[in-house]
Structure 1
């Protein structure tokens, strides 16, 4: 385990370059670029907070900061969803 972390530290610059390249490739055709990473969850939170908070009549005594609660849940869901999707795509492309 210690050897693993030593190698990780040894090649940290390579890791940084791979991450930068991945981010550039991911947003190369996007008009908003990296800003879209922050804008998309924020817009989703606003829309869902409005729908579930106002239209469906959420009980305010149960959750005090509903938009923040909603954002935390959505971020965790999106993280696991994207990680699973990319892992499966990696396996499929390597086969």
Structure 2
């Protein structure tokens, strides 16, 4: 079982078939994911690698079963640029 001790969001927006391009060519079985890692930042490279390995462990079986190729991008923000309606604060 994969446990990601972190705050992150994965956004999935379905595109119209034929609008995904890889290397300038249309790709019918392609997924591009954007992962927003918010409120925390990876402090060491090992943490980044571990997080990405956990993401791979989650998504690889799903997309391999569907014979899809995929990529992802992880965007981070610092804690002082994150605010939620519950805390009303931008500091830890």
TM-score, normalised by the number of residues in structure 2: 0.33
User: Which structure carries more strand by proportion?
Assistant: 2
What TM-score do the two structures reach when normalised by structure 1? 0.32
Q: Which has the higher contact order (CA 8 A, sep 6+)?
A: 2
Bigger Rg, structure 1 or 2: 1
